[in-house]
Amino acid sequence: MKNTNEASEKPEVVLTGEHLTIEDIVAIGVGDKRVALSPQSLDRCRASRNFLEQELKTGKIIYGVNTSFGPMCNKIIRDADIETLQANLIRSHAAGLGDPLPPYIALATLTLRLNALVKGYSGVRIELLELMRDMINAGIAPYIPESGSVGASGDLVHLAHAALAIIGEGQVYRRGQLVSARAALAQAGLHPIALSYKEGLALMNGTSAMTALAAFALFGAEKLLRLAYLNAAFVMEIFGGIDDAFDPHLHALKPHPGQVEAAAIIRRLYQGSANITPRSRIHERINSARDNEQMVYQTNINVQDVYSIRCTAQILAPVVETIAAAIKTVEIEANGVNDNPVIVPDEGLILHGGNFHGQSLSFAMDMLGIAICTLSNLSERRINKLLDKHLNEGLPEHLIAGPAGLVMGFMGAQYLATSSTAETRHLANPMSIHSISCNASNQDVVSMGTIAARKTFRLVRNAKHVLTLETLADLQALALKKTTGLGFGTGRFHAELAPGFSVYDNQRVFHDDLTALRRQLFSSPLLDSLDAFLPPEET
């Protein structure tokens, strides 16, 4: 089958079913990379298919091949109808509703399904794998409604919609347009395939949609965490934060890995700053103000910063650890066999089991949602400190210089942070505990993993709103204070953002400033890594 990739110069990811990363999934989904199939993997797929063919010739009854599905598995299908069975399965289960998944997530879903099949344990033909490869490289993204999966036999409804495109039915996105699948295939020089036995089930029986959503949620979560580190360092610069809250000796005494990591990164980001307050300077200030004749005396000197500054490393500790654990879970799922039944030709086995069940992903996404909610809570409280004249240590009310009351500055924008954080708290409630028996009680314990991934993807979007606003408030505060002498990382980050920033003076629509900064933070490579913002080594 012809390879229809229209940008062959793009980097290539060779799918083996073993090494796909979250970064690969995202890059393929957005069209930055193309896919190829490993010859060794294709050899395994041929062996799997040959073994399945031989088993059928012996008259064996194999679930989903010559039987019906779910609670109807006791109904045996005649040989003459076993290919019709596969098309009937897809059409009947393409029963989703709601807004479509974004095309980049649909392409990632197709990629993940292909990566699972190319492992060689599903008994499908090579021509099916090659068509899926060519569809991905041609940017043909199936139209997949967001609602319909319980995450138990995987994403049956979502993947049925994806499979429709492969057989030339339903709709797809291509070049930003929604068109019929048959027309898009023809435009790309491809032809729909008539599915053989087992292939409809193999396309549908898996966790590919929830894994695609999870991958994009994690990709955004990692950027959010990096921005949270940078904003924590910014707020230390703005308020002259006291340095011993990030001292390595302190964190060594309660060495949660995430806490130690967060403290070290934030400390390195403000390294070299002229604005951080050493603990020794606090002692000097208090001693100079001491009145020896009073048992109790009051100064205007803070002895400790508020929790949203001082406890940042402790608050971010479980966030760091949760993101790391979720990455591991998602990449295992992305490279796992999540089909049923599973064909193992080397052992002469056809195994009926439940690798399609999404409980691990569901649990990981629920935990990630709580972590993202934590980031949003922390950011929202720091925004409030920056804007409240009773808390912001001399900064203008609502960060606006001018006649108070005539200009409102960041007043309206704070509602964005408050409402987004409130919605995020609601969405952070877990889905993995909400099993409801279905499929005539065949699927009596289900994961709701796709809903968990969908809501966490939305949580990430909401948190981006909040942290974008915090970053803009940081830039405004630094400008109003005419802050100089920034640290290594804060200085470099400020230099990246400064060309697109101008002090908000109430003469512009605030939305436009937010939109421009959000795009710079999350739709560019700026936060793909912190390497450019960290000094070579801690001193």
Decide: residue 154, CB within 10 A, 0-12 exposed, 13-18 middle, 19+ buried: buried
Residue 20 pLDDT exceeds 50: yes
Where in the sequence numbering do the catalytic residues fall?
63
Cα–Cα distance for residue pair 138/180, rounded to 1 Å: 15
Predicted pLDDT of residue 85: 85
Question: pLDDT tens digits for 239-273?
Answer: 999 999 999 999 999 999 999 999 999 999 999 99
Query: What does 388-437 look like in DSSP terms, one character per residue?
Result: -TTTSTTPPGGG--SSBTTB-TTHHHHHHHHHHHHHHHHHTS-STT----
Q: In the chain, what are the domains?
A: 12-206 (1.10.275.10), 216-533 (1.20.200.10)
205: closest CA among 285, 296, 123, 293? 123
pLDDT in tens, 304-343: 889 999 999 999 999 999 999 999 999 999 999 999 899 9
SS3 call for 12? strand
pLDDT band at 287 (very low <50, low <70, confident <90, very high): confident
Mean pLDDT of 138-147: 96
- Residue 210's closest CA among 250, 151, 166? 151
Residues sharing a CB contact under 8 Å with residue 350, sequence separation 6 or more, in sequence order:
52, 55, 60, 62, 341, 342, 343, 344
Average pLDDT, the chain: 90
* Chain CA centroid to CA 31, Å: 17
| φ, ψ (nearest 5 deg) of residue 96 | -85, 160
pLDDT tens for each residue of 343-383 = 999 999 988 878 888 889 999 999 999 999 999 999 999 99
Judged against a pLDDT cut of 70, whether residue 440 lies above it is answered with: no
Residue with tokens 């400033």, as numbered in its chain = 513
In three-state secondary structure terms, 124 is coil
Q: What is the pLDDT of residue 1?
A: 39
List beta partners, residue 349. 344
CB atoms within 10 A of CB 152: 27
Are 232 and 266 in contact by the 8 Å Cβ rule? The answer is yes
Short-list 185, 82, 191, CA closest to 138: 185
Q: What is the pLDDT of residue 303?
A: 80
Q: What is the pLDDT of residue 490?
A: 98
174-229 pLDDT tens trace: 998 999 999 999 999 999 999 998 899 999 999 999 999 999 999 999 999 999 99
pTM score = 0.93
Cα(63)–Cα(69) distance, integer angstroms: 7
pLDDT for 2: 43
Judge contact between 47 and 131, C-beta under 8 A.
no
Three-state secondary structure call for residue 344: strand
Q: How far apart are CA 225 and CA 281, in angstroms?
A: 31
SS3 351: strand
Rg over CA atoms, the chain: 27
Q: Is the dihedral of CA 61, 62, 63, 66 positive or negative?
A: negative
Position 17, amino acid: G
What are the φ/ψ torsions at residue 34 (nearest 5 degrees)? -110, 170
Asked if residue 69 has pLDDT above 50, the reply is yes
Please say whether the beta carbons of 406 and 414 come within 8 A.
no
Q: Is 276 left (phi over 0), alpha (psi -120 to 50) or beta?
A: beta
Query: How far apart, in whole angstroms, are the C-alpha atoms of residue 154 and residue 156?
Result: 6
If one counts every other C-beta atom within 10 angstroms of the C-beta of residue 392, the result is 19
